[in-house]
Chains A and B, each alone.
Chain A
Amino acid sequence: MQCPEALRVQAYFDGELDAVSAADVERHAEGCAECRALLGDLERMRTALRSELTDLRASPALRTRITAALNEESSARTAQRSTTARRTWRTPPFWVGAMSGIGASAVAAALVLLFFTPLLSKPLIDDLVGAHMRSLMPAHLIDVESTDKHTVKPWFAGHADVSPLVADFAAQGYRLIGGRADYLDHQRSAVVVYQHGGHVINVFSWAANGRSVPKSATRDGYHLLFWRVADLDYCAVSDTGWDELQGLVQLLTNLGSRDHPE
């Protein structure tokens, strides 16, 4: 039978406890022979492992291979960049073609309304989708891992420029899994991360700066839904379906209108 404090003793040994809990564990170990023995075991195993197993090194041959591969990659990238640049230069923007055949100014004005708003917000959408895709790479999704809004929200205070709505909707199928700070629109935006089935939903938020944002957008197969609560712009990004995304946004806006009565 293992002492119920064993996990805490291990955390103490690994230096994961704050001073108060550490003192607690020390007091406990004074009276618990099992935990004293555990500390001895942990120490002996660590010493043995560190003395025997730390001498593995990448071989000079591997280093050479890696340098060569990086050289190749760098030159390939440079070449790719220049062809992309040429292609963009040659292709005129689609609305030039659209405008050239149409004389009526009313139609032109309508086109400006229809097309320019999305064009203005295009870099923002690119940034959001880029940030969403980056977040799906290993180790990028979450900076603070918690299903507790009382952990996630205070974390933003030190890491982002805004303090967004944070809530867990596990009961409704949208589980809060953590938070992250991303650089977006010249500020440290706060990102709340939800899991819905097998999908990740990133909810970005940043201080509204007067720039108009679209209601929704689709880019590279990702859906984006925008809304505003008080002075914060929000955008939910995911590869989930519109209805699923809308479900989370609905929950968040309901919450927002409760928190910020008009």
Chain B
Amino acid sequence: MDDKRGRFEAQVLPHLDAAYRLARWLARSPADADDAVQEAILRAFRAFDALRGSDAKAWLLAIVRNCSSTARRREQRRAFEPLPEDGDAVAGEAMIATTPDPESAAVHRDDERTFDRLVASLSTEHREVLVLREIEDLDYREIATITNLPIGTVMSRLARARLALKARWLQELEAKPHAMP
């Protein structure tokens, strides 16, 4: 095994589970998530020499996010009318803003697990910042790096995501009063 491969396995592969979790929350099915993660790991390996210094986790998750949104766009093109070419790379936000019916992802999930369903029902952009913050425990700066957003946008988006999650949780509690914590 060459040196690069060894360093890659030591620095990047420990974050494989985190990569999978993010892909799982962004993809529509476990199989799509697997594909996105495999593609992301390969791309990461090819670009590994460019990884400067510290933050392998945020770097890998940014690649995962890219692979996931590419896959989603591909799927949208198949399922719907063709999207305009996303020539404007600066508006990174636009490419995740149009994901249709997040509810359908929830269908695949275990019905018993309230928060699984609630998070799945959020929009992709809300789900992504929430998962990066609460599940992966990343700070605002890392989330900004991964999502290619200014930190201020990360903050406000996170606040809206939390409000949306709370609203859905309250609905859930009203529908099933006996489940009150």
Contact = CB atoms under 8 A, between A and B. Distances in A.
Contact of B47 (A45, A56, A137): A137
B42 interface: yes
B134 A145 contact: no
A41 interface: yes
Contacts of B151: 145
A10 B119 contact: no
Contacts of A56: 17, 20-21, 24
B155 A198 contact: no
Nearest to A15: B139
A23 interface: no
Interface in A165-201: 181-183, 195, 198
A42 interface: yes
A52 to B, nearest CB: 4
Given A138-B148, A139-B145, A140-B50, A10 B162 contact: yes
B83 interface: no
A73 B38 CA distance: 12
B119 A14 contact: no
A139 B59 contact: yes
B106 to A, nearest CB: 13
Interface in A37-66: 41-42, 44-46, 48-50, 52-54, 56-59, 61-63, 65-66
A6 B115 CA distance: 23
Contact of B146 (A46, A59, A139, A183): A139
Interface residues of B, number: 57
A134 B148 CA distance: 15
A16 interface: yes
Interface in B12-35: 16-17, 19-21, 24, 34
B37 A62 contact: yes
Interface in B123-181: 130-131, 133-135, 139-140, 144-146, 148, 150-151, 155-156, 158-159, 162, 165-166, 169, 181
A117 interface: no
A11 interface: yes
Interface residues of A, number: 43
A69 interface: yes
Contact of A73 (B24, B46, B87): B46
A74 interface: yes
Contacts of B165: 45
B41 interface: yes
Given A14-B140, A49-B119, A74 B2 contact: yes
Contacts of B47: 134, 137
Interface in B85-132: 87-90, 113-116, 119, 130-131
Contacts of A183: 52
Contact of A58 (B8, B17, B50, B135): B17
Contacts of B181: 44
Contact of A65 (B34, B52, B150): B34
A70 B42 contact: yes
B3 to A, nearest CB: 11
Interface string A58-92: 11011101100110011000100000000000000
Given A6-B159, A7-B156, A56-B24, 10 more contacts: A15-B139, A45-B162, A48-B114, A49-B119, A50-B134, A52-B115, A56-B21, A57-B17, A140-B52, A145-B150
Q: List the 6 closest pairs (A to B, CB-CB), nearest first.
A: A139-B62, A58-B20, A138-B62, A134-B50, A52-B115, A49-B134
